[in-house]
Amino acid sequence: MTSGPQFRLLGPLDVRLDGTSVVLRAGKHRALLAALLLRPNRVVPVTELVEHVWGDTPPARTRGTLQTYVMRLRAALGDPSLIQTAPDGYRMRVDPLAVDVHRFADAAARGRSAAAADDLVTARKAFAEALELWRGPVLSDVPSETLYAENAPRLTELLMSVHEQRVDVELALGNHADLLPELFALTRDHPLRERFWAQLMLALYRSSRQAEALEAFRQLDRILEEQLGIDPSGELRALHQAILVGAPSLAAPVAEREPERVPASPMRLPDDIADFTGRAGHVERISGLVTGSVPIVTLAGQPGVGKTTLAVHVAHLLRDRFPDGQLYVDLRGYSLGPPADELDVLSRFLRALGVPPDEIPPDADEQSTMLRSLVSGRRMLLVLDNASAPDQVRPLLPGTASCRVIVTSRDDLRGLIAMNGARTVPVDVFAPDESAALLGQLLGPGDHAELAARCGHLPLALRVAAAYLAGRGDVTISGSPIELAYAALPPAPQRLFRLLSLVPGPDFTAEAASALADVDAEGLLTVLEIAQLVVSVSPGRFRFHDELVRYAAALREESDTPAEQQLAWTVLLNHYLRGVERCAELLYPGIVRLPTSSTGPAPRITTSAEALAWLDAERPNLTAAIQQAAEHGPAPMAWQLADALRGYLWIGQHVGEWLATAHHGLQAAQASAHRPAEAAMHANLGTLYLRLGEYALSVEHHNQAIDLYRELGDKDAEASVLNNLSLVHRRSGQLTEAKEALVRCLAMLHSADSISTGLYNLGQLSVELGEIDGAVDHFSQALALAPNADSHTYLGMALRLQGRLGEARDHLDRALEIGNVPAGEAETLENLAALELASGNPSAALSLASRALSLVADGGDPQVATSVRITLGDVHRALFDFDAAAELFGQALATARRIGYASGEVRALIGLAVVWRDLDRHPESRSAADEAARRSAELGLRALEIRARELIRP
């Protein structure tokens, strides 16, 4: 990105000068600026500008009015030379790369060039850079039909093309599984774009989800027929046929292994204020301490004294000294709402450092350890704002001499001094000359000594007072500046100011403010912003100082009745709930949710990308709102929000917020004795604890949900929870319990698809338990309901284990004829190899098992690869190649333990016990057999336990 002014049109228009946002409130000013920015360094004729700004209804004095607009735009931008006058129009003198539209086109072109040169890693980075520039629909707040018509379709088509090209690159890199959530969203948002469907089908196929890939084609076929009356393209039909037969050309490339992760270099500081004044001594001292030998510098002072402004200003000044990045967080230690959650802050830092969400550990101590590991040896600066106690700070400390920390607090945090080597820099009110300098900047030259004294030289009060006096002539301050600023407001912004103190989190949008006060709040927020009672922190988002929140809350308690306050609070919660519901419809429509009591319009969210951005921005408000509703009411909003939000928290792996919201939802449901909500919250926590590997807690919550659903007579919900409970038991090695849960689940299912899936799971369990006759029955029924390659393979496996080799061969051959994904074909070949071995044909078995291993050995399904290695080890033993057999069993054992494949672990141990006995390594053989017997007994693997104990006998 270039230095100097920055302009963004890919979303709401945003102008930034020296890191500070410039707000253009007039729509016609935004249209004029956009028209010039779209053609940088080129003269845009007056006639075209008039059409872009006024359309078909230009004013009488067109050229004069346009000149006035240009003059005002120059003043707003602070540099008259940016807009140059030409004989027949105007020119915007700006580096094209300072405009996101042109930076997007540049990054897209670099991505295409790199992809054409087969430099896939560079192409991926360029395409990602291009896509990150989009914040919403192009020109979304620029009121110009002609500009939109001329540019939006072109840029939107380029955006879609970049999405397609980036997905192609990721597929070529072997990252098909990671693409699936994005491709599901793209096909949902753009159902007529066939290339997205082709990419989804290929990604599903390569992820061993052949049936879903074929169903995606059928879904597209229906959409095209219903909406356009046409068939899918020839290219798509060819892909469909290739998936049907398992064409080798569709096989995934081996995923390129990335070098060991190098943490990102995030620059996450808030904007520095343009009119920073005074504090020269403080800046020098803090800078010296931070760049010297002091690991932690604490800025301590009273509210409103400017600690945050000072910390952020110093951090910006020192950016070059900390090239590996700066991180910032508001710990909200003194806010009316809950403080920032430790897990949330740590996970945000880890994500900023490039850690994928699914690799972030769920435990705060583990996250803190990972943070210290990632920043070790790197030169970074952390700004921890508004800390109320040392314990809020310690988990976030980097613990390395190369990283430094600035903390702001109302207290001196002596615990950090004693135990962590911190130094405190007291921050007092301004000196008189500093107050005079700030007021001179804000009000112009003059004698401001008396005003500064009345404000107590407190920076917050000085800014509010200056805003109050601006344009008021000879008016003077005769009391608290904040009280006077509030008193000077009309009733409507006064009421909004009071009610905004109900916002539970750190910031709010104009939409949320409108819902809260039941007004169109945009104009009122402008009034409050001019009065310095709220601050715009980013386009469309606002916040205000903790002390102003407390003042607003005190006024609310005095001026608004309890009923009015409760109504406003409930309406705000309803706004949040409608927003989450709208996002759920776009991001995870298949997740069943509790019915809600929400009413009214949802926030303006139209695409999956907008939904995810809205949830990311509102997450702190939503989690705080759920806690507030659980503790103070209305309770139904707590569980409804928690339930609607769980799909997003699962997708994003936001474990800390997931844990907190689920517990608060359960608390509210239990306090209200609302059984359906209580059951849903128990199921929610059961899923979360499964994700965390806390199997005992997961079983406990699943069982409580099952009991409640049974009381309620909700069989569909009970069946769903039983299916999840079976998965918990399987992962924890409790196979008998897993089977019992599946049997109970099956009794409640209705559709053929769900029943066949349940039978398939039950058959797999029966094989692991050694109940082969039952497995044959289950797989036979599944085959009748869903005849496919997998059904034939597993029925063939069960028949082979039953000794019915001829029937088994028929089904396995049929599976090969139908075709399957690589992992599925490998399973079929492995079972054919085992069948040949049982038939006394080890040479044929060797060929089949080797083919199977070639399909999954390098980057394929690790569980299938483990099983194939065990079978191949059996084949090598039959061929008297004991060393090769031992090596294969050892590889299988290591993988099985790494991935938690319990039955594979026992089978590999048995294989090792047998081959070591063949090699006269009797102590090792006995040890392996003992361990196999112990593990199989723990897991309930009866058939394997019998085999292991036979090896132990002398």
Measure the CA–CA gap between 897 and 83, rounded to whole angstroms: 67
Tokens at 688, concatenated: 């979360």
DSSP calls for 492-549: HHHHHHHHGGG--SS-EEHHHHHHHHTS--HHHHHHHHHTTSSEEEETTEEE--HHHH
**What CA–CA distance (Å, rounded) separates 29 from 706?**
60
Cβ neighbours of residue 681 under 8 Å, at least 6 residues apart?
639, 642, 643, 662, 665, 666, 669
Q: Dump pLDDT digits (tens) for 59-73.
A: 878 888 888 888 888
| pLDDT in the model for residue 790 | 81
What global pTM score does this model have? 0.60
The pLDDT of residue 260 is: 44
Residue with tokens 């052949």: 210
150 vs 148: CA distance, rounded Å: 6
Q: What is the pLDDT of residues 136-183, one digit of tens each?
A: 788 888 888 888 888 888 888 888 899 899 999 988 888 787 777 778
Q: What is the mean pLDDT of residues 192-200?
A: 90
Rounded average pLDDT over 600-622? 86
Cβ-proximal residues to 792 (8 Å cutoff; 6+ apart), any chain? 783, 811, 812, 814, 815, 818, 828
CA torsion sign for 922, 928, 930, 933 is: negative
What is the Cα–Cα distance from 656 to 366, expressed in whole angstroms? 13
Give the side-chain half-sphere CA count within 13 A for 310: 32
Going through 402-457 in order, the beta strands assigned E by DSSP cover: 404-409, 422-426
pLDDT of residue 325: 87
Q: Are 941 and 734 in contact (CB under 8 A)?
A: no
Q: What is the pLDDT of residues 706-760, one digit of tens each?
A: 999 999 998 888 888 898 888 778 766 677 888 889 888 888 877 776 787 778 7
Average pLDDT across the chain, whole number: 85
User: Parallel, antiparallel, or unpaired: how do β-strands 422-426 and 296-300 relate?
Assistant: parallel
Distance CA 138, CA 333 (A): 38
- Give the per-residue pLDDT at 861: 67
Cα 571 from Cα 780, distance rounded (Å)? 55
Contact by Cβ (8 Å): 298, 413: yes
Provide the pLDDT confidence category of residue 359 given band limits of 50, 70 and 90: low
